[in-house]
Structure 1
């Protein structure tokens, strides 16, 4: 998210279309943990910390915490509160569990959460214990169960994919974790983060992200850490082109990360590089709209990339702060770019290829989506058309 002025309101979408998009199985690859926290949880935690004298609630407007239509100034106020509250192990575990529950309720079947490991000496928090607390939240949400059960059947009672999809309308969500390097950090701190990602790769950590205020620092500061991650087999995604910065965008694309986020400000040569290398783009429509990276949804570069058959993935960025959901983002795409229900389903299924998940899980998810596709074609899947 960039430090630009926020537009007054989010786009409205048809309520029926939104319900249909909730029924669609979805993949989320660009969600910041701190930006996903429930406002109700934030208010509860803030009030508790205020009673204990750990912060002054008067410094934060309670109305802003539960408000949906926030200004950009109010968004950053909210992020400030979130950062104060997420340096406690138990709170980290709780909000992680709740975030996963919220995505599961939206029928997200695969989620890659990203977060920057932090220190808090006052509570004995290290970067490692921070990540462990997040992983404990993932475990608490029971997200590592196999999808195999959704395809089990007796040999004498074989079901077609549409029947299996109807029977299991809410598939188990699978969650993986990306560790983020913040542009405000030092190279030493970045190296610690990528080392942690590598050491915890068998615990659900699947890659590395570079994020933070795009107006701060130089991404090349972190190149040694990113190169180390690549040499050790860790996939990389970069926040790229959030603000106009042609030199940085050119260098980032030359690095050829596995994915990039946003990619709002690409000049013609950079766009050619992106297309030629088929680098998947994590698209965050509402985030880009509300931060004025684009002026109107229909002008968003999603349309040009999608029409060029370029790899794109719809994502939310900070759904708690922006008061949106991934279902809402799919509804926006249908409304402004005319995608049908089956086209939305294909868009979501194609995202599996660009995940950092292990091959076996990708194959399981693809099999599940193929069942959903068959159900849609048979009109058994309750997502039979877009108004």
Structure 2
């Protein structure tokens, strides 16, 4: 995905409003992508290639091809819950190690290789923490899944790429325990696992069941990031329960109440902000109403991220354009303020295994 022609929507409009000098400034800016889901960032050409190479391509369910077509055209989401129906098509195409490796390679290149539209060959990100939920299939165990992704991540030096292992709120206790145990084991073996994440349907699961798993991960030296308060339906109790895990970073944190916000400010947990994602999922009504403004006013650490470049048709440079562009297309921050925001993303990275 290039930084202009392949993106659409809010990010594209903001980027198009900038001068050539401003775009070059954003491209050259050292910035970390800390909230990018592997399966949500696979480029459409890679998905089509995987569909063609599928061992039984002729009998792939029609919804797989329809899903790819929908993603290429751009999705219209009425609310965040619509988002989770987009992924069965992708999962069907990345259910064996070879296809998963190809997908991971394409996503890493998307963020870390030279952008063909950047005059000086800059990449979208100086550093990427890619996250994914390990899925068991007929062709691979959850450990094999993570090893496959790590093999691709570790083609890059440690200062450029690492892996976050995601637990889904819909997981039962046995699966969640297995995922954390594998993440810790790989970390102890020196593999480049730097953190664990909680993701999935924001209204699913009993968060009491997850506390021990995240405690174990933290004790093993893994960073903890949690998708939190993504909808107005997330309860006060759910949010405070998750904050009691003492996360290092928070995903979205859109609907924190006063009590929760006080805890976040006290703990200085970096908030991973995904502007296009929030706007397209309609969890915020406009940039002017976005909770990012409050965090910036309070000098609270944030990281600007893409979330899922495939359905949202954005890029990291495009997300930063939403900071720099003048209102109403952007927040109208100064270049100095944007540099400060990018710096916060770089200092909020999780620690690499000591061997690296």
Aligned equivalent of 1:185: 171
Q: Does residue 215 of the first structure (1) align with residue 230 of the second (2)?
A: no
Q: Does residue 138 of the first structure (1) align with residue 138 of the second (2)?
A: no
- Relative distance call for 1:41 and 1:57 in structure 2 (3 A) is farther
CA deviations 1:182-208 (Å, max 9, x no partner) are 111111111111111111111100111
Q: CA deviation at 1:63?
A: 2.8
Task: Give the counterpart of 1:231 among 192, 210, 219.
Answer: 219
Q: Following the alignment from structure 2 to structure 1, what is the Cα–Cα distance between the partners of residues 69 and 346?
A: 38
Structure 2 counterparts to residues 1-387 of structure 1, below 5 A: 9-10=9-10, 12-15=13-16, 16=19, 17-49=22-54, 52-57=57-62, 60-61=65-66, 62-71=68-77, 76-104=84-112, 105=115, 106-121=123-138, 123=139, 125-139=140-154, 142-144=155-157, 174-201=160-187, 202-244=190-232, 245-335=235-325, 336-358=330-352
TM-score when scaled to structure 1?
A: 0.78
Aligned to 1:306, the other structure's residue is in SS state: helix
- Relative distance call for 1:126 and 1:44 in structure 2 (3 A) is same
Asked whether the 8 Å contact 2:197–2:225 carries over to 1, the reply is: yes
Asked whether the 8 Å contact 2:35–2:131 carries over to 1, the reply is: yes
Q: CA deviation at 1:14?
A: 3.7
Q: Following the alignment from structure 1 to structure 2, what is the Cα–Cα distance between the partners of residues 39 and 74?
A: 20
Asked whether the 8 Å contact 2:124–2:315 carries over to 1, the reply is: no
Asked whether the 8 Å contact 1:208–1:236 carries over to 2, the reply is: yes
Aligned to 1:260, the other structure's residue is in SS state: strand
Asked whether the 8 Å contact 2:153–2:163 carries over to 1, the reply is: no
Instruction: Give the superposed CA RMSD.
Output: 2.4
Asked whether the 8 Å contact 1:10–1:69 carries over to 2, the reply is: no
Q: Following the alignment from structure 1 to structure 2, what is the Cα–Cα distance between the partners of residues 343 and 360?
A: 33
Asked whether the 8 Å contact 1:176–1:357 carries over to 2, the reply is: no
Aligned length, in residue pairs: 324
- Relative distance call for 1:270 and 1:180 in structure 2 (3 A) is same
Q: Following the alignment from structure 1 to structure 2, what is the Cα–Cα distance between the partners of residues 77 and 277?
A: 34
Asked whether the 8 Å contact 1:24–1:107 carries over to 2, the reply is: no
**Greater Rg over alpha carbons, structure:** 1
Q: Note the residue ranges of structure 1 that are not aligned, 5 or more in a row.
A: 1-7, 147-173, 363-387
- Relative distance call for 1:127 and 1:304 in structure 2 (3 A) is same
Q: Following the alignment from structure 2 to structure 1, what is the Cα–Cα distance between the partners of residues 282 and 63?
A: 30
Q: CA deviation at 1:270?
A: 1.2
Q: Note the residue ranges of structure 2 that are not aligned, 5 or more in a row.
A: 1-7, 116-122
Q: CA deviation at 1:58?
A: 5.5
Aligned to 2:14, the other structure's residue is in SS state: coil
Aligned to 1:337, the other structure's residue is in SS state: coil
Asked whether the 8 Å contact 1:9–1:69 carries over to 2, the reply is: no
Q: Following the alignment from structure 2 to structure 1, what is the Cα–Cα distance between the partners of residues 87 and 63?
A: 16
Q: CA deviation at 1:180?
A: 0.6
Q: CA deviation at 1:98?
A: 1.1
Aligned equivalent of 2:3: none
Asked whether the 8 Å contact 1:31–1:112 carries over to 2, the reply is: yes
Q: CA deviation at 1:10?
A: 3.5
Q: Following the alignment from structure 1 to structure 2, what is the Cα–Cα distance between the partners of residues 237 and 214?
A: 14
TM-score when scaled to structure 2?
A: 0.84
Asked whether the 8 Å contact 2:38–2:131 carries over to 1, the reply is: yes
Q: CA deviation at 1:94?
A: 1.0
Q: Following the alignment from structure 2 to structure 1, what is the Cα–Cα distance between the partners of residues 230 and 298?
A: 21
